[in-house]
Structure 1
Amino acid sequence: MGLSSFIERCISSFRDAIKDSFTNDRDFTLFLCIGFLAGVAGGINTSIFNNFLNDVFHLSETARGVLEFPRELPGFLVVFVLSMLAFLGDTRITSISMFAAAIGIAGLGFSHSFGVLILFLMIFSMGQHLYMPLASSIGMHLSEPEKFGSRLAKYNAYNLSASLIGYGVVFVGFKYLHVSYKTAFIIAALFYLFATFTSFLMKKQEPHHKSFKLIIRKRYTLYYLLCMVNGARKQIFLTFAPWVLIQMFHVGPETFAIYGVIIALVSIFTRTLVGNAIDKLGERKVLSIEAVVLFWLCIGYSFAANIFTASVAGIVIAACYIIDSSTNAVDMARSTYMRKIALHSSDITHTLSLGVTVDHAVSMSIPILGGLLWSAFGYQVVFMSAAVIAATNFVLSMRICTE
């Protein structure tokens, strides 16, 4: 009887907390729900995408690098697409982005030719990249200035917590149920559709732009440079770190799902930590520390196989992959830095989206060069190049000033 009463009180408290969230902070709660649903879909995609390319299309490292050009092209074009959709407002554009992601990822499962793969990959990528600047813009719009870091961290924590479900779907599905890649992609598409519906429930339409101007100010030059070097190093990691694990150490989808679970658990902590660190220490220190960590991770990718036995090297590179993935939270610092130096509030979404475009102007070409370097000299040279980029990131980060 005592246990029953305790459970009833817990359920009642949880129900009241949910009700209070929707009553007092309805739009932010819905925003968290969007992040949660997209997180499940993202967890599925992250776990299977590279294995899908390897198992179904049997790509070489050069072809894998070349594929990043059409995959990242929507990121370059996002500022122009946003300019055409600006009259809708950020939350309605979010609806479009989630729907595009749903169509694109479902289409990947039905792709049986390289041309069809590229088409649906670009649709999916456009949905993802449209949402990148919007997530930061909406999150900060629904927050007080002194809580930008912690509120964005809360959103990211929900997104990452949900990815655990996606990783679980992949692990159980591929290890025990023998599901196909097509089935996994369709499940992910359903979660993007749920996110689309949720976004329509949001009432607050601001930020809303009658026009979307291409804003280039000298004041924002350092922000654009940070986006550029971040895009270069990040793309080397996104493209080639999992490819090393697949090609050199034969890691399958279920193992990537386990890595994903570890990454999500670590990142839930690190995102909250980074969010609080941004508020207390500032963007300069946070981004400088990130650059140092990334430099040493690149060294680990490059020389693990030369220092350790094959089995130990695989563990070291997997650890680098996990730690590297867990540093994504630091992207918040670039967004909050932009928000703090913005001359006008109307500059924020415009400049964040241009930052995504600058990021992807580099991202499109770097993997092609990386694939050629891998073919000619081995994957170690690719990550040594990334270490140089990380060092450049440190120099730029030390120049940040928000006063």
Structure 2
Amino acid sequence: MESEKKLSEMGVVKKQKIKEKFPYLVSKFNNDRDFKLFLIVGLFTGIASGINSTVFNNFLSDTYKLTASARGIVEFPRELPGVLIVIVLGILAFLGDIRIAIIGMIFAALGMLGLGLFSPSFASMLLWMMLLSLGTHIFMPLSAGIGMNLSENGNYGARLGRYSAYNLIATIVGYAIVWVGFKYFNLTYQIAFVLASVFYIFAAFFLGLMKSKKPKKKKVTLVFKKKYTLYYCLSVVNGARKQIFLTFAPWVLIQVYHVNPPTFAMLGFIIAILSIFTRTIVGNAIDKKGERFVLSLEAIVLIVICMGYSFADYLLSPSAAVVIIAACYVIDNSLSVVEMARSTYVKKIAICPEDVIPTLSAGTSFDHVIAMSIPFIGGILWTTMGYQYVFIVAAFIAVINLFLSLKIKIN
């Protein structure tokens, strides 16, 4: 017994000496292990979001027969958790980023389960949708912060790009489940939501295997500093433009061109094929070319996409117009990875490391304040003037986005 005790003590001393002698190597090993677990989390969240994004709009249309204006109104409760995210993260800050992310995944799982099994009425659906939204919005700023905290030598873009690529690979599985399920196995919306819920639970489990550090001191929950003003402005403009696309781009395909879930799954496959490599490419471009270049290029592409949505129906036959609009939908969704450039911009200009996640959270809240009102206005515009005018407004917003992006400077 005594010899075993001595051996054990020797082992502890040896580990301690290694830590003292090679702190960087120990830190790198722990970071690599946790980053691998984080990549697995990305796989499971990707499958869940792939299922949800493919069927949710068709679910609303087929189950509750919503008009365009009603669809716009739905975005208010769906985006409300995003506005409150700074407060929520502030209340939970004492837990540390990993534990808060676990809570977010559990909320997302419960929300998906409720949509699948406990949404007999429109009102009950809204409640479960808000819980799902709360979970995903909790995870949104944390995922970027966790990924960057697991980076070495400032390779933030490359790390986030790799995580994003794994996440995208997983969405292919989600699209495949929808395409095969609806086409060959009579998959229902309810079963699809329950499956997505299970994948969010898996994500929570693997987050639980990561090393969680409680903050050494109370975190600043709200960060409003003059230095971050441009980031806040970029967040607001991006939120306005993004919400128009998230709400009305699929709605055009569903309501005007009658696209069904299996077709959306096929579009998802195309998006995945197009994006699977560009996510890593964009990450590397951030590190080599900088955020100004990446965000400005995104804005220019978005202006062209908005023109495609606005004028395809006027200039082309219906069969050609749907191809152009579907192409715009694919390209727009492929650009979602550029979001990481706003995160790395904050990381690079941050006055101190503790500012990063609170600032990203504040940006998310600003993003969603505008995102709550834009769909309502867009729904009225669609009803009174036609969907084309919704995207003409989006083009003007993209121009503002370009102007702001060109102002980015990193010392």
**Normalising by the residue count of structure 1, what TM-score does the alignment of the two structures yield?**
0.93
Deviation at 1:24, TM superposition (A): 7.2
For 2:215 and 2:355, the matched residues in 1 are separated by 11
- SS class of match (2:343): helix
Which runs of at least 4 in structure 1 moved beyond 2 Å after TM superposition? 21-24, 204-213
Question: Residues 102-181 of structure 1: matches in 2 within 5 Å?
Answer: 102-110=109-117, 111-181=119-189
Cross-structure match for 1:273:
281
Q: Does 1:52 align with 2:59?
A: yes
Contact 2:94–2:215 (CA under 8 A) maintained in structure 1: no
Q: Which residue of 2 aligns with 1:362?
A: 370
Q: Say whether 1:90 aligns with 2:97.
A: yes
Q: Which residue of the partner structure matches residue 384 of structure 1?
A: 392
Tell whether the 8 Å contact from 1:86 to 1:208 is kept in structure 2 after alignment.
no
1:114 Cα deviation (Å)? 1.1
1:81 to 81, 84, 88: 88
Equivalent pair of 1:138/1:207 in contact (CA under 8 Å): no
Matched, 1:331 2:339: yes
2:224 is aligned, of 202, 216, 221, to 216
Amino acid at match of 1:44: I
Q: How many residues align?
A: 383
Q: What is the rounded CA distance, in whole Å, between the counterparts of 2:285 and 2:153 in structure 1? A: 15
Aligned-pair identity (%):
56
* Alpha-carbon offset, residue 207 of structure 1: 6.2
Which residue of 1 is the match for residue 8 of structure 2? none
Q: Distance in 1 between matches of 2:46 and 2:398?
A: 27
Separation in structure 2 between the aligned mates of residue 237 and residue 92 of structure 1, nearest angstrom? 32
The one-letter code sitting in structure 2 at the alignment partner of 1:261 is: F
Q: Deviation at 1:45?
A: 0.3
Letter in 2 for 1:102: A
Amino acid at match of 2:80: L
Assess if the C-alpha contact under 8 Å between 1:84 and 1:212 holds in 2: no
Once residues 280 and 208 of structure 1 are traced to their aligned partners in structure 2, the CA distance between those partners, rounded to angstroms, is 34
Which residue in the other structure is 2:304 paired with? 296
Instruction: Tell me the distance in 2 between the aligned counterparts of 1:23 and 1:224.
Output: 33
Deviations along 1:242-270, one digit per CA (max 9) or x if unpaired, are 00000011000000001111111211111
Aligned to 2:50: 43
Letter in 2 for 1:51: N
In structure 1, what residue type is equivalent to 2:44? L
Q: Is the 8 A contact 2:81 2:134 kept in 1?
A: yes
Q: Matches of 2:61 and 2:123 in 1, distance apart?
A: 16
Inter-partner Cα distance in structure 2 for 1:216 and 1:236: 27
Separation of aligned partners in 1, 2:156 and 2:359: 17
Deviation at 1:210, TM superposition (A): 2.2
CA distance in 2, matches of 1:102, 1:192: 5
Three-state SS of the structure 2 residue aligned to 1:365 is helix
Partner of 2:355: 347
In 1: Cα distance, 2:215 partner to 2:42 partner: 18
2:244 to 218, 236, 241: 236
Q: Go from structure 1 to structure 2 and tell me whether the alpha carbon gap of 1:248 and 1:22 turns closer, same or farther (over 3 Å shift).
A: farther
Aligned-residue offset at 1:112: 1.3
Q: 1:205 Cα deviation (Å)?
A: 2.3
Gaps of 5+ in 2: 1-27
CA distance in 1, matches of 2:230, 2:148: 21
Alignment of 1:185-200 (within 5 A): 185-200=193-208
Task: Specify which of 370, 380, 385 is matched with residue 372 of structure 1.
Answer: 380
The structural deviation recorded for 1:204 is 4.0
Q: Is the 8 A contact 2:158 2:283 kept in 1?
A: yes
Cα distance in 2, alignment partners of residues 187 and 143 from structure 1: 32
Query: Aligned partners of 1:269, 1:157: CA distance in 2, in Å?
Result: 7
- Are the aligned partners of 1:88 and 1:209 in contact in 2 as well (CA < 8 Å)? no
Shift of 1:53: 0.2
Structure 1 SS opposite 2:221: coil
Q: Distance in 2 between matches of 1:287 and 1:89?
A: 30
Equivalent-residue separation in structure 1 for 2:66 and 2:235 (angstroms) = 29
Contact 2:183 2:262 in 1 (8 A): yes
Amino acid across the alignment from 2:278: T
> Contact 1:73 / 1:360 at 8 angstroms: preserved in 2?
yes
Q: CA deviation at 1:179?
A: 1.2
- Asked which structure has the greater CA Rg, the reply is 2
Cα distance between partner residues in 1 of 2:90 and 2:221: 7
Whether the 8 Å contact between 2:220 and 2:355 is mirrored in structure 1 is: no
> In the aligned structure 1, how far is the partner of 2:135 from the partner of 2:409?
33
Question: Is contact 1:78–1:353 with CA below 8 Å preserved after alignment?
Answer: yes
Shift in alpha-carbon separation, 1:56–1:276, aligned structure 2, 3 A: same
3-state secondary structure, aligned to 1:399: coil
Kept after mapping to 2: 8 A contact 1:100/1:123: yes
- Report the alpha carbon displacement of residue 379 of structure 1 after superposing the two structures with TM: 0.2
Paired AA for residue 371 in structure 1? G
- Equivalents in 2 of 1:400, 1:287: separation in Å? 9
Shift of 1:22: 8.4
Q: CA deviation at 1:208?
A: 6.4
Deviation, 1:144, is 1.7
Whole-angstrom CA distance in 2 between matches of 1:309 and 1:303: 11
CA offset at residue 214 of structure 1? 1.0
